[in-house]
Amino acid sequence: MMRVHRVRAEVVVAACDADLIGKELPVGSSGRTVKVTSYFYGERQVSEEELVWALKRATTANLLGEKVLAIAKDAGFVAPGGTGRLGGVPHAEIFAMATE
């Protein structure tokens, strides 16, 4: 699943494995959870090529799930050790930093 959010000059790519939509993932030991929603991550499944195309144009990316992270790693967007876990699910955030 993928959705591209545009906020002023920012292009935010949010992508997750389809089976995660609707799940609530625990955050730490506080009892708090985060719901994985189609509002944020999208309602449309995309191909590997579409995801990579979108990531090449993103200024920020929020990636969640084994499959999505494998694609991002294979395409060189996520370095080894560059992921964390959200409720036991692999997660990464990518930010493009302007250099001048």
Domain ranges of the chain: 2-95
Question: pTM value?
Answer: 0.92
Which one of 3.40.1110.10, 3.30.1860.10, 3.90.1150.10, 3.30.56.10 gives the CATH number of domain 2-95? 3.30.1860.10
Share of the chain above pLDDT 90, in %: 86
State residue 26's pLDDT score.
93
Write out the two tokens for 55. 């990531």
Q: Given the structure tokens 């997750």, which residue do they identify?
A: 16
pLDDT in tens, 77-96: 999 899 999 999 999 999 98
**Closest CA relative to residue 65, chosen from 33, 19, 34:** 19
Q: Cα angle vertex 27, ends 33, 88, to 5°? A: 110
The DSSP code for 1 is -
